[in-house]
Amino acid sequence: MLAAQQNAQIINANLPKVTTTARQARILANAAPTLWLKPDSAYFALDANGNCAAWYDAANPRSFVPVGNSPPSVTALVNSANSFLTFAGAGSPLFDATLANIFPANGTPGTVAALVYNTTGASTFGGGVIGSPLSSNQFSLYINTSTGSYNLQGEIGVSGNIVSGTSTINNGAWTTILGSYTGSGSGAIAQKNGTTETTSANTLAVSTASTALQAIIGGYGPSGATNPAKMRIAALMVASVDLTLAANASILADINAEFAAYQTLLVAG
């Protein structure tokens, strides 16, 4: 591990978990996210050029660090308390320096949520928001670069999508996208800005192989070279929780409210 990555991990271990509000405390307790990256400037480290040196997980002792020679840039807003990343489609994503298992294991439910922004139009915007480093049939949340639609991509080892949204993300605004699935049975949902667009009745599974459960931000596949992201990303969450269930409606509402609050902060600047 590079010294910079080791230092990022040491710094991250000293950062507090996200418990600044009652809603955030409920999300930590009820969703138990394996990943929670937020648009808080305190959780970013910059290199000498103002690009991302590390993005610290607000719920776990880990950080994501750049691979490649073109790390995403970090934009700090006027209020300086909030920041976001811009991926330029150069195939230089962020990877987890701890190589921890982040995605849900085989037969378990899962949820992936992201806050993204399209500045280029559907013809070039999109790519992998977050995904696994497998060479084929990667588990990922990605945005189709031809249509601007969002998809939670299929089971490891099985082609196709778990669930896809029905509308595009080409409106020049911060947009929350979320996919959740049952895991051991049938059922999945896709949401955009808190509105359910799709329900699915597929039987879903994810491999238990450790390399399948690790994560890359801004692409997927080996070194994140598959479908590299061209977009802004401000927040990400992964949790082993089934938000298709009515019993978990309050968890889904809290996550949507949290991401909506991020959108408000980013727009206010």
- Residue pair 242/163 in contact (Cβ under 8 Å)? The answer is no
Tokens linked to 238: 């992964």
Domain that holds residue 97: 3-268
Residue 24 has pLDDT above 90, yes or no: yes
Residue 256 has pLDDT above 50, yes or no: yes
Residue 60 has pLDDT above 50, yes or no: yes
Single out the residue of 123, 233, 114 nearest to residue 168, CA to CA: 123
- pLDDT bin (cut points 50, 70, 90) of residue 211 is low
CA distances (Å), origin 147, targets 8, 128, 159, 249 = 37, 14, 19, 30
- Euclidean distance between CA atoms 98 and 181, whole angstroms: 26
pLDDT tens-place string over residues 110-125: 899 999 998 766 557 8
Residue 181 CA to chain centroid, in angstroms?
16
What is the reported pLDDT for 6? 45
- Residue pair 231/125 in contact (Cβ under 8 Å)? The answer is yes
- Residue pair 111/179 in contact (Cβ under 8 Å)? The answer is yes
- Residue pair 113/70 in contact (Cβ under 8 Å)? The answer is no
Looking at per-residue pLDDT, the higher value among 76 and 202 belongs to 76
- Maximum Cα–Cα distance for the chain, whole Å? 49
Where residue 167 sits, what CATH number does that domain have?
2.60.120.200
- Euclidean distance between CA atoms 91 and 128, whole angstroms: 10
Looking at per-residue pLDDT, the higher value among 256 and 163 belongs to 256
Residues 32/7/73/264 CA torsion (nearest 10 deg):
40
Pairing of strands 110-117, 127-131: unpaired
pLDDT tens-place string over residues 143-189: 888 888 888 876 555 556 788 888 888 778 899 999 998 877 678 89
Q: Which residues pair with 115 in a beta bridge?
A: 176, 235
Burial of 209 (0-12, 13-18, 19+ CB in 10 A): middle
What is the reported pLDDT for 247? 97
Residue 165 CA to chain centroid, in angstroms?
16
pLDDT tens-place string over residues 65-85: 998 777 888 887 756 688 899
Q: How many domains does the chain have?
A: 1
Q: Which residues pair with 84 in a beta bridge?
A: 75
Mean pLDDT, all residues of the chain:
83
**Model's pTM, two decimal places?**
0.90
Contact residues for 140 (Cβ-Cβ < 8 A; gap 6+):
128, 129, 130, 131, 132, 152, 153, 220, 227
